[in-house]
Structure 1
């Protein structure tokens, strides 16, 4: 179990305060080890029990999805306040947040095992990067409302920490890129990052995503085949890096997401930014 409570350098008491609220759902950062452990249990239920990832021995014994980054990351949590019991038993969704300065002290970002993120960071010394990861929501809470609430929390967080660029991996289920040929090819032809923001999969793990010519893609079916998380990222203006990587532990095909905050669609900045200011005030 992580011994650290939070990696964040928030103003006093901010970590304990809500960063967003919709109905009975509330989003804030984890504020103690019990909440982090409960978030790891939610991740295990989604990634391993539901989606078939393969746990190592300690993960299986504990029933929690854990790795070394949990001790240094901030953990964004969605709570159903209508549920009985203590807060750590009300967690229904989570995101893991790793800021650039914390990653530097921890030896790098999580996604550097798959994509050349360090090169991107080096090209933009004036920016502050945030890595998003381990996104999951329990099945009965997978709704537009929950996703909106997570984004409210993320916006409050990036405002508080003056983040300039959000990055991270997003996944297709399975380990055969060709199964997702149309959706991956749609991303390759329509959603690729500009040269300034491009990130390539690491040598030795690189798999191409341009598997079909543009004229062979049916946009409607390609969009329907995109995982909801990737569609959500694209909706706010995210772009896709070069290539994909197969993650055999989690049983996924991973692509890289890059979102410079200044390039995010204005309507989302207006909506989520307004909510962030309200809860960060």
Structure 2
């Protein structure tokens, strides 16, 4: 693995204030690899830059349907942007202000904020609320809108994001990470082997079971278990899904076709207690 320099200071984290920007937040990184640094957005300009990056990837590169407002502003934006924390990856070797150095982003929504502002983003596709209600003593974090520019889609960028997420999780006392991950395209059968592998081997059971909402449910078990080549299935999975699997995540029952974004979405559930000690040590030390 690449060597990762990592330092943690709770003062770097935002506290869920309106516009997800805390004036007192510092510019110190949550993680650093070479010229890449990860930290939370500290200004509206940085959030707007992240929205433009998402537009570039989701709409211009991957072909998401352009709503009129998105087309005019050249931004991917919704009501959740004002209540989420925005984890950003900067390439400090690029010229210009910080907003011009953003090459990746992740959106983080804590349970306390979701409860106060109308729920989680993923609840439109999966029965997330039922999962949360089943665990009244646990603190959930929703991760979403993961986006990295093509030139930075590498192992070290993913490692950097997880370093920063782990710091955030420790600081806020998060017990469970959850949210949607996507396969490109709106035909689940095109990902039959990968989806079937998840369905047969990685579906959350009992207390961690969660289903796609009935009106949007599409089956994932498209092939019998004995017909699946595990190596081929894993190779075919998006890097984000493979990253979740390595950490010990389970997946929901059923997938959802998102025609607006041109994706097939699966639901990820990752209890902190399920993460291997070696990953906890690697991503910042045991708490």
The TM-score normalised by the length of structure 1 is 0.93
Measured on the aligned residues, the alpha-carbon RMSD in Å equals: 1.6
Between the aligned partners of 1:238 and 1:14, the Cα distance in structure 2 is 31
Show the counterpart of 1:95.
106
1:25-104 to structure 2, matched below 5 A, reads 25-104=36-115
Residues 7 and 72, structure 1, Cα contact 8 Å, conserved in 2: no
Asked if residue 105 in structure 1 is aligned to residue 116 in structure 2, the reply is yes
1:1-281 to structure 2, matched below 5 A, reads 4-6=18-20, 13-14=24-25, 16-274=27-285
| Per-residue Cα deviation, 1:67-108 (whole angstroms, up to 9, x for no partner) | 110000000000001111000100000000000010111100
Between the aligned partners of 2:21 and 2:44, the Cα distance in structure 1 is 12
Residues 167 and 257, structure 1, Cα contact 8 Å, conserved in 2: yes
> How much does 1:190 deviate?
1.0
> How much does 1:225 deviate?
1.0
Between the aligned partners of 1:71 and 1:209, the Cα distance in structure 2 is 33
| Per-residue Cα deviation, 1:8-64 (whole angstroms, up to 9, x for no partner) | 7xxx84454311111111000001100000000111111111111112001111111
Between the aligned partners of 2:140 and 2:284, the Cα distance in structure 1 is 18
SS in 1 for 2:51: helix
Residues 38 and 88, structure 2, Cα contact 8 Å, conserved in 1: yes
Residues 40 and 65, structure 1, Cα contact 8 Å, conserved in 2: yes
The TM-score normalised by the length of structure 2 is 0.91
Between the aligned partners of 2:167 and 2:152, the Cα distance in structure 1 is 21
Q: Which runs of 5+ in 1 are unaligned?
A: none
The alpha-carbon distance between structure 1 residues 64 and 56, as it changes in their structure 2 partners (threshold 3 A), is same
> How much does 1:7 deviate?
6.2
SS in 1 for 2:215: coil
> How much does 1:227 deviate?
1.0
Give the 4+ runs in structure 1 shifted more than 2 A. 12-17
The alpha-carbon distance between structure 1 residues 197 and 15, as it changes in their structure 2 partners (threshold 3 A), is farther
Residues 5 and 31, structure 1, Cα contact 8 Å, conserved in 2: no
Residues 58 and 64, structure 2, Cα contact 8 Å, conserved in 1: yes
Between the aligned partners of 2:28 and 2:123, the Cα distance in structure 1 is 32
Residues 52 and 251, structure 1, Cα contact 8 Å, conserved in 2: yes
